[in-house]
């Protein structure tokens, strides 16, 4: 089974605004970069065949992506058009240029506990399903949409109580689907509470230690 991952990425300095009370602009940019590195490194060592990064600022992301042989950066067609459009841009690119890929994984760049074994387990779920969903920890967002093409494709509803809507789309279209929710897919970093939880999970005491640990990447 050939799987390609798609990740949307905005300019590093233009992210994580809800952490402004904890981190300044430079620190937020550094956190976003470290999280993306962590995600790309685990995708690189997983069974994913390729990773497409849909970027608002291609040159900035390309400097990081060149460290990974599976990663390719493309520009989003609508600048700051939102997650749904960025993901659809990635899907359109795959359909046009990577026709041998049988399945697509839509994933954010800010899953700090993500591991390559968890990615591989998710992929294995496609043996008996056409669509695999993972919610965010609050079950209002979607941290994984993994589907066979074309039978598992659903309309996208990111940033709009998306997990509930994606689940409803799967049921309405009568797609064989399942929810996959190991903790490594549930925890993202959007709020101060998420950030503090992450510091505790990784047993780090400083921001510098956190970014070093994310960039080191342990996929066991």
Phi, psi of 129, deg, nearest 5: -140, 155
Identify the pLDDT of residue 9. 97
- Supply the mean pLDDT for the chain: 95
CB-based burial of residue 146 (10 Å sphere; 0-12 exposed, 13-18 middle, 19+ buried)?
A: buried
* Domain tally, the chain: 1
Domain that holds residue 10: 3-216
Strand, coil or helix: 212: helix
Residues of the chain with pLDDT under 50: 218-220
CATH number at residue 191: 3.90.550.10
Listing DSSP states for 51-111 in one string gives EEEEESSHHHHHHHHTT-TTEEEEE-SSTT--HHHHHHHHHHHHHHH-TT--EEEE--S--
Query: Which of 35, 34, 46, 33 is CA-nearest to residue 4?
Result: 46
With vertex at residue 7, the alpha carbon angle to CA 4 and CA 11, rounded to the nearest 5 degrees, is: 150
Cβ 114 vs Cβ 39: under 8 Å: yes
């Amino acid at each position: 089974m050939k799987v390609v991952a798609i990740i949307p990425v905005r300019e590093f300095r233009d992210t994580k605004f809800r952490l402004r009370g904890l981190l300044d602009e430079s620190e937020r940019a550094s956190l976003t970069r470290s999280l993306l590195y962590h995600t790309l490194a685990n995708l690189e060592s997983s069974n994913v065949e390729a990773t497409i990064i849909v970027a608002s600022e291609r040159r900035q992301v390309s400097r990081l992506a060149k460290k990974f042989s599976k990663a390719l950066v493309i520009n989003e067609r609508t600048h700051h058009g939102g997650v749904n459009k960025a993901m659809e841009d990635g899907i359109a690119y795959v359909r046009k240029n990577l026709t041998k890929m049988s399945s697509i994984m839509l994933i954010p760049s800010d899953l700090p506990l993500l591991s390559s074994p968890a990615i591989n387990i998710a992929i294995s779920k496609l043996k008996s399903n056409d669509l695999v969903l993972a919610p965010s920890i609050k079950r209002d967002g979607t941290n994984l949409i993994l589907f066979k093409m074309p039978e598992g494709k659903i309309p996208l509803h990111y940033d709009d109580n998306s997990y509930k809507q994606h689940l409803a789309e799967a049921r309405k279209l009568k797609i064989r689907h399942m929810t996959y929710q190991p903790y490594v897919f549930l925890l993202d970093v959007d709020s101060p509470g998420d950030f503090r939880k992450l510091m505790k999970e990784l047993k780090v005491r400083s921001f510098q230690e956190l970014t070093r640990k994310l960039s080191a990447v342990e996929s066991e």
